[in-house]
Amino acid sequence: MKKKRDPKNTIDISRRNFLKATALTTAAAALGGCGTDMKDFLQKHFKEMTPADKKEVIARLEDKYLKKYGKEFSISVKEPLDGTEFAYALDISRCIGCRKCVYGCVEENNQSLNPQIHWIQVLEMEKEKGVDFLHSNLYYEHEEVPHQGHFYLPVACQQCKNPPCVKACPVEATWMEPDGIVVVDYNWCIGCRCCMAACPYGARHFNWAATGLDKEKVNPQVHYLGNRPRPKGVVEKCTFCIQLVREGKYPRCVEVCPVGARKFGNLLDRESEIRYILENKRVLVLKEELNTQPKFFYFFAT
């Protein structure tokens, strides 16, 4: 006859406990070993951080950037200025398609060189056809610009008042700040790219791989929501150089444009250039029928 086994006593207690102990120790070691990674992983959404939280996050990031790029970074979390709503105007009678704005922006905003990310995309269009995206050329290469019979339309984030990307994001990683800039919290973005499908202007770009920056040329004056070096797997886009405009300066593209085609200012300031343009020039926005209400205007100066 088979010996009846008492279920409680037949299990080898020491072996079970040994296995339990091993599992727990391994887990603890793994967690303890990646202390900062754990803090990164559990980091809160930017809008829910207290000033103390922000300080801690900045310290951690500055440390990380110092180790990676060998430069002292200064990460700002400057709030929007009171009474500002930024807008941009681009004079398409002046743009010659030189792309200096593209590369100025790349340098100022620490865009990845490899794989290449450009926040500004300059489209070459035919004067005869007018603003017609289907017949435009992003990859034009000429000896000299402007090329005969063509005009140029640089496109970047339009900082819409009714942004479809903000609607689409499932985790609220992107939102519109009170001064009108649509920003991304790079440490909250999960990389689902819903916003990229939603953007009608192709303004949002994805970090398909880890950013490849030139250590010498890295710009260490950054804003948390703007031009700080981004991790892989997150979306980025033009932020009107949030690190500059909130300090009262012009975005880099405005200053770099050799023909003065780019204008920027505060919509709420009656005396600003941008108000003058909107009130006096022939202004258009791209894809107006989509009701995105962009704050990026195109105009013809003459």
Considering only residues 210 to 269 of the shown chain, the ones binding other proteins according to CB under 8 A are: 210, 231-234, 245, 248-250, 254-255, 257-260, 262-266, 269
- Of 58 and 210, the one with the shorter C-beta distance to other proteins is 210
Q: Is residue 190 part of the contact set for other proteins (CB under 8 A)?
A: yes
Min separation Cβ 59 and other proteins, Å? 21
Do 298 and 283 contact (CB within 8 A), yes or no?
Answer: yes
- In whole angstroms, the minimum distance from the beta carbon of 123 to other proteins comes to 6
- To other proteins, the closest distance from the beta carbon of 32 in angstroms equals 18
Distance CA 146, CA 133 (A): 18
Does residue number 290 form part of the binding site for other proteins (CB under 8 A)? yes
Complex with other proteins: residue 58 or 168, whichever CB lies closer? 168
Query: Which of 39, 45, 217, 282: binder of other proteins (CB under 8 A)?
Result: 45
Contact with other proteins (CB under 8 A) among 30, 197, 283, 284: 197
Taken in order 63, 64, 69, 73, the sign of the CA dihedral is: negative
How many residues bind to other proteins according to rule CB under 8 A? 90
Residue 13 CB neighbours (<10 A): 9
Q: Does residue 141 bind other proteins (CB under 8 A)?
A: yes
Q: Does 160 bind other proteins (CB under 8 A)?
A: no
CB-based contact 158:296 (threshold 8 Å): yes
Total residue count of the chain as it appears in this document: 302
Tell the smallest beta-carbon distance from residue 228 to other proteins (Å). Answer: 17
The SS3 assignment for 154 reads strand
Q: Which of positions 91-130 make contact with other proteins (CB under 8 A)?
A: 91, 96-100, 102-103, 115-116, 118, 121, 123
Query: How far is it, in rounded angstroms, from Cα 224 to Cα 168?
Result: 22
Stretch that binds other proteins, among 5-13, 25-33, 56-64, 132-140 (CB under 8 A): 132-140
The token pair at 244 is 């500059």
- CB–CB of 234/189 below 8 Å? yes
Half-sphere exposure at residue 106, Cβ-oriented, CA atoms within 13 angstroms: 19
Instruction: Tell me whether residue 63 or residue 269 sits nearer to other proteins (CB atom).
Output: 269
Coil/strand/helix, residue 276: helix
Per-position DSSP letters for 61-106, written without gaps between them: HHHHHHHHHSS--EEE-PPPPTT--EEEEEETTT-----HHHHHHH
β-strand 282-284 against 174-176: which pairing, if any? unpaired
Q: Draw the binding track, 8-37, toward other proteins (x: CB under 8 A; -: no contact).
A: ------------------------------
**Using the rule CB under 8 A, which residue among 49, 92, 194, 267 binds other proteins?**
194
Single out the segment in contact with other proteins by CB under 8 A; choices: 24-32, 59-67, 131-139, 217-225.
131-139
Does 155 sit near other proteins (CB under 8 A)? Answer: yes
